[in-house]
Amino acid sequence: MPNFNHPPIAQHQSPPSIKWDKYLINGELKTWNGPVERVYSPMGKVDQEGRVDRVFLGEAPTLDESVGLEALGAAKQAYNNGRGFWPTASATQRIECMERFLELMALKREEVSTLLMWEIAKNKSASYKEFDRTIDYIRDTIDEYKELQRRGSHIASKGGVISQVRRGPLGVVLCLGPYNYPLNETFCLLIPSVLMGNTIVFKPAKYGVLLLTPLMEAFQEAFPPGVLNVVFGRGRTLAGPIMKTGDVDVLALIGNSKSSNALASQHPKPNRLRQVLGLEAKNPAIVFEDANLNKAIKECVAGALSFNGQRCTALKLIFVHKNISADFVRRFSDAVDELKLDHPENNSDLTPLPEANKAEYMDEYVLDAKEKGASVMNKRAGKVNETAYFPAVLFPVNKHMRIFHEEQFGPVVPIVEYDKLEEVMDAIAESDHGQQCSVFSEKESTISYAVDNLVNQVCRVNINTSCQRGPDYLPFTGRKDSAVATLSVHDALRSFSIRTVVAAGTDQKNLVRDIVSSGQSNWMTTDYLL
């Protein structure tokens, strides 16, 4: 039953609906006359029973298998076994296309950010930030790509061998982005893979689809036909059959390991398939007894509940030492109850949830934990209406509860009381996840011990601060089920490419020199990119 103690979520004028019926294949924006998916916002008028009359935002095509395969065909043709225009284009040509895209994309800031707010209920400042961060990411990637090319322009002569080493593309990339960062995380895959000379079939996530439509003409105008093909519809209908052909060289996916494993297992030639994956996580926070509680509480609230906890980097399990747990839990629960849940246009801390039945799903975690001995510690917890859920703080959580192991990806915060640090270390070691963790203490010796014992369990240890992906120059990856390959401005270019050597004996010196000075090869060039 909805909790009516909450103030009603504000209503705002919605953006005009978008009836999108196009998809991009081989440089052509084709029209779809078949079934469509109607897109609704998580926001809308709420009735007495807490049902939400979700605002209609528009529709997008539900393409069929044959269109998915047509998109794959276009990407395959553009790649042409590494001999197509794009994989053999010079660095300057690729950069020109990317800069043109950047120019066109920058014009769509308002439209894309507004749709981000309305489709996935990301609050206003975070929506604009996602857009701006993506623009910066593209700029920085172009700079890093230039640097990579400069390094590849070097010709060495050593051990009787003249050699040049560059990074080459891998082939056809199937790219599937997540709903929580439908622009930024998707583009962190798309941009480096395109720039390295791969060709792409891209399918947006289930939620956060319309926000990509303002960019479709920019994709079409900036890149040569077949380089970037965009299809809309269900993963099962489109991605599965594409994978079964064996023509995909890279699976680039941000999501969960269940989907990536299911897809990858359909590829008939597993050694041909590279994977670049950002997957689920269960980042723990450890609050030591010598922590600064004000700081720890502030960071843990933000770390667990920014964007309602729908971040792969969110703090999803908080371990607190028993000597301070009572104080921590009380103050943490009060701080959570201070958060504002409202319409994203109001830039509130918490917003409605875009996924269907998410509130019920959160309640299942709470129920399971309560049955096994935990209590809900804050006053305002629970379902507010069909699409909104005020965060529940659960304490004391133990390993028999589902919330201890599973990624909640939403507004439920489990707190575990510990006595000996080894209990926490064991839990982290036994976990299937290994992305990041946060440690809270003011003491040099505590932090030193924690860092040394955690760095080989996770891929980033955050000291007195919550977990996060940024800044984007830092490597973003994980152990176990949390990731495959590394992303960052620097690393993603490497993840989507392979080192390739052209070599000759020193007796070929004159031939090599003539090739380079004639400028006939795009690859064997020593041109220094400015």
Q: In the complex, what is the shortest distance from the CB of residue 486 to ligand G3H, in angstroms, rounded to a whole number?
A: 13
Minimum distance of ligand G3H from residue 239's CB (angstroms): 20
Helices (H) and strands (E) in the chain, counts: 17, 25
- Closest contact distance (angstroms) between CB of 184 and ligand G3H is 8
Identity of the residue, 185 or 491, whose beta carbon is nearer to ligand G3H in the bound complex: 185
CA separation for the pair 169, 193 (Å, rounded): 8
Shortest approach of ligand G3H to residue 186 CB, angstroms?
Answer: 11
Task: Identify which of residues 205 and 374 has a Cβ nearer to ligand G3H in the complex.
Answer: 205
Structure tokens at 389: 């859920």
Closer of 68 and 303 to ligand G3H (Cβ) = 303
The answer to whether 183 touches 138, Cβ cutoff 8 Å, is: no
The answer to whether the beta carbons of residues 72 and 240 sit under 8 Å apart is: no
Nearer to ligand G3H, 185 or 299 (CB): 185
CB 87 within 8 A of CB 79: yes
Query: In Å, how far are 322, 327, 345, 373 from 164, measured between CA atoms?
Result: 59, 62, 53, 64
Least Å from the CB of residue 360 to ligand G3H: 22
Determine contact, residues 56/17, Cβ cutoff 8 Å: yes
Q: How far is the CB of 307 from ligand G3H (least distance, A)?
A: 7
Minimum distance between the CB of residue 180 and ligand G3H, rounded to whole angstroms? 5
Q: How many CA atoms lie within 13 A of 368 on its CB side?
A: 19
Instruction: Compare residues 149 and 180 and give the one whose CB is closer to ligand G3H.
Output: 180
CB distance 185 to 278 below 8 Å: yes
Nearer to ligand G3H, 229 or 310 (CB): 310
CB of 472 to ligand G3H, least distance (A): 9
Burial of 271 (0-12, 13-18, 19+ CB in 10 A): exposed
Q: Which is nearer to ligand G3H, 183 or 287 (CB)?
A: 183
Residue 341 is given by DSSP the state: B
- Residue located via tokens 């920014």: 306
Q: Evaluate whether 176 touches 256 at the Cβ level (below 8 Å).
A: no
Task: Give the nearer residue to ligand G3H in terms of CB position, either 181 or 187.
Answer: 181
Minimum distance from residue 177 beta carbon to ligand G3H (Å): 11
Rounded least distance, CB 191 to ligand G3H, Å? 15
Residue 23 has φ and ψ, to the nearest 5°, of -145, 160
Closest CB to ligand G3H among residues 226, 255: 255
Q: CB of residue 254 vs ligand G3H: minimum separation in angstroms?
A: 7
Q: Which is nearer to ligand G3H, 188 or 374 (CB)?
A: 188
Percent composition of the chain: helix, strand, coil (DSSP 3-state, to 5)? 40, 25, 35
Q: How far is the CB of 482 from ligand G3H (least distance, A)?
A: 11
Question: How far is the C-alpha of 65 from the C-alpha of 295, rounded, in Å?
Answer: 52
Q: Which two tokens stand for residue 446?
A: 């505590």
* C-alpha span between 504 and 502 (Å, rounded): 7
- Positions in the binding site for ligand G3H (CB under 6 A): 180-181, 185, 311-313, 468-470
Q: Which is nearer to ligand G3H, 185 or 386 (CB)?
A: 185
- Rounded distance, CA 450 to CA 143, Å? 36
Nearer to ligand G3H, 24 or 175 (CB): 175
CB atoms within 10 A of CB 501: 10
User: Taking the complex as a whole, how short is the minimal distance between the CB of residue 469 and ligand G3H, in angstroms?
Assistant: 3
DSSP labels for 193-242? Answer: HHHTT-EEEEE--SSS-GGGGGGHHHHHHHS-TTSEEE--S-HHHHHHHH
In degrees rounded to 5, what are phi and psi of residue 227? -70, -45
Cβ closest to ligand G3H, residue 313 vs residue 378: 313
Quickly count: other Cβ atoms within 10 Å of residue 489's Cβ: 24
What is the bridge-based pairing of β-strands 479-480 and 433-434? antiparallel
